[in-house]
Amino acid sequence: MKRLPKWGLVVAIGLGAASIALLSSGDAVAQRRHAPPAAAPAAPVDPPMVKNQGGIQLKPEGLRWGMTPEQLAEFFDRVIDKDYLPLYKRAQPGPQTTRLDAAVSEAKAAFRRSKVEFGSLPTGMDSTPLKGEYTYNNGESMMQLNRRGQGNRYFFFIKNQLWKIYDEVPLGEGRPLGATYVDALGKFATEFGVVGRVTEPDYEKGPFTKEVDWRDDKTHIRVADRSGMHVVGVIYEDRNVLANLGNYRTATVEDQNKLDPDIAALIRPPSAPVGPPDAAKDKDKDKNKRKK
């Protein structure tokens, strides 16, 4: 696979994939001065298809779209067992292995307890960068996992089926995605063999951070700039669900932080005295007449 030059990637992401041909002859320069200005290239409508042979891979191996929360919990039971295996090999039989047994059991139980239902009541997730990744009253839920030595992973379900994974991948020297957001984009572009589509933030409609995305036949991937928190958001989505999201999300979207009307009535400033709008003015006129 042909590697993309790092600086070429930075220019392609920051300025677009425009190329300028330098003309050396005086006639060519004159022609260029009188030529009409070239139109800016249109932004791609769809994210580019990845060109690598393996496509976009969900990890660990065996993770797949459509899993139920129960199936996902059982899947990660085996993953957690493997995570702790090196510690078991170094532990002495007795109290050390007993403590490891307790830690493994708690990790598995914590993953199951992490499930959040996005029903009719607002949740604490509304004040996090994940706001916008889910809706209420549409049969959606989420589970959170933090494996040893790795960042947070959030698994989103719709109609009880896994359709989105949000990874918070730490940035830093020696980290898998590098020290900066541009480093991370370079690694993805090299892996996928193509520069992704850039979407600037839209603070009213979303996305709320800059994103670069790609796709293959089954999966859409977005890489979100959260470098202010020293992480990169890597979001995987099931393209089948994504293409039919309007059919899944049929409930009216409401602002979950909207103040309850009864509470709003209690804290509303006192209204102006009830009476004819010009009553005060008429009263002043009467006073003036009596003075005269």
Q: Whole-angstrom Cα distance, residue 141 to residue 115?
A: 7
Long-range contacts, 73-79 (Cβ 8 Å, 24+): 73/108, 73/111, 73/112, 73/143, 76/108, 76/111, 76/145, 77/108, 79/147
DSSP calls for the chain: -PPPPHHHHHHHHHH-S---PPP-SHHHHHHHHHSPPPPPPPPPSSPPBP-STT-SPPSSTT--TT--HHHHHHHHHHHHHHHHHHHHHHSPTTHHHHHHHHHHHHHHHHHHHT-EEESSS--GGGGSTTTTS--SSSSEEEEEEE-TTS-EEEEEEETTEEEEEEEEEEPSTTSTT-SSHHHHHHHHHHHHTSPPEEE---TTTS-SS-EEEEE-SSEEEEEEEEGGGTEEEEEEEEHHHHHTHHHH--SPP--TTPPPHHHHHHHSPPPPPPS-TTHHHHHHHHHHHHH-
Report whether 64 contacts 233 (CB < 8 A): no
Q: How many other C-beta atoms can be found within 10 angstroms of the C-beta atom of residue 145?
A: 19
pLDDT confidence of residue 150: 78
Q: How many other C-beta atoms can be found within 10 angstroms of the C-beta atom of residue 248?
A: 17
pLDDT in tens, the chain (292 residues): 444 444 344 434 443 433 333 333 444 444 444 444 444 455 557 899 999 999 999 999 999 999 999 999 999 999 999 999 999 999 999 999 999 999 999 999 999 999 999 999 999 999 999 999 999 999 999 999 998 767 899 999 999 999 999 999 999 999 999 999 999 999 999 999 999 999 999 988 889 999 999 999 999 999 999 999 999 999 999 999 999 999 999 997 555 455 555 545 555 555 544 445 555 555 555 555 555 5
Report whether 235 contacts 133 (CB < 8 A): yes
The whole-model pTM stands at: 0.74
pLDDT confidence of residue 151: 83
